[in-house]
Amino acid sequence: MSSEVPDTGKKLVELARSVYNSLKTGEVPELIMPSRNRDNIVLDPMYSVWRYGESKVTRSAKYVDGAEYILKSLYMIEFILEMIKGSKTSTLREMYYISEGWKNGKFGTQDESDIMAEDLEVITSLMREDFRLRPEENGASVIGNLTIEEKNRKGEFKRINCKDDVGEGGYNIPYNVDQEKLKIVSSDADFVLAIETGGMFDRLVENGFDERFRSILVHLKGQPARSTRRLLKRLNEEQHLPIYVFTDGDPWSFRIFASVAYGAIKTAHISQHLAVPTAQFIGITASDIMNYDLPTDVLTDKDQQALQAELKDPRFLNDFWKSEIEAMLKMNKKAEQQALAKYGLDFVTDKYLPDKLSGPNDLGE
């Protein structure tokens, strides 16, 4: 996925040079990229993931907003090139504060600088990792019989088994999990179970689910970080492990699954590197709420609006999702993973998950 550093620097310099050449020849500089909104999401038939379509937006120096955008882009490019030259990295938060020292290119909010970093990815077909930019926190945790080799600060690879060489919290996923930083050596598992909440992850670890069911457990930590999704993608492709996603039963958790399986709007330009189209949903559904008589909460107005939107979302157009979303709207209820504890602490590992994993193959894939 990631490019070699010289290629990254070359692409960024070419982008900056295109702006310079426009100014030099008396033309108005502009940057063109795919429109990054829901209406421009299309199915990529090659990768079976959702990508940006043909609709484009233009940032032109002809307008004040466009000129400011291009100026800030150039400042960011210069900052990234300096990091590459000095073998440094920066958090997205640090980059935002770095702009405080820019004479004319200061960002108003971190959201603005984060979005611009994503725009640079789209324009250059590079990755944030190529830019040496990282989130404030690393990804979540992994536990199971998975052996990896991670490059340490000395540039040496250290071998780690995610069952034997880690504590109860598992192996912490770093921000960059591409092959030049992390090698997947081997796995002795039948599948990967990606879990939304920390409480449920800890429950499955405590109950020994990974050993009893020859699985690798991955804590998604809510909406999963890029590194977490990238690792799931690699485990699926390189180790040929099926991915199952276990979440709460609400519209926001359904979107967590969709981001794992098909990609998210913000990262649609790199869905082929992050998404696992064969991933299956085994989280809480409206049917589970009824069949298991689970404790519930009433849907909020925002929950209802989100579910209505999902009925039109191309990631939720199959019969499984249509039926479950409509049923949830009708009952006006949602439920958490931990609601399964109504039947005891072992119910999720002794009954619920085994039944889901051995059930019909129509689990939202």
Closest residue by Cα to residue 197 from 343, 363, 340, 346: 340
What amino acid is encoded at 168 in this protein? E
Tell me how far CA of residue 154 lies from CA of 85, 157, 181, in angstroms: 18, 9, 12
* Cα 289 to the center of its chain, rounded Å: 27
Active site residue 97: yes
User: Who's near 76: CB < 8 A, 6+ residues apart?
Assistant: 95, 105, 113, 116, 117, 120
Distance, in Å, from the CA atom of 184 to the CA atom of 147, rounded to the nearest integer, reads: 6
**Are 33 and 116 spatial neighbours (Cβ–Cβ below 8 Å)?**
no
Catalytic-role residue among 20, 96, 97, 292: 97
User: Is the Cβ–Cβ distance between 275 and 237 less than 8 Å?
Assistant: no
Main-chain dihedrals φ then ψ at residue 250, nearest 5 degrees: -155, 165
Active site residue ranges = 97
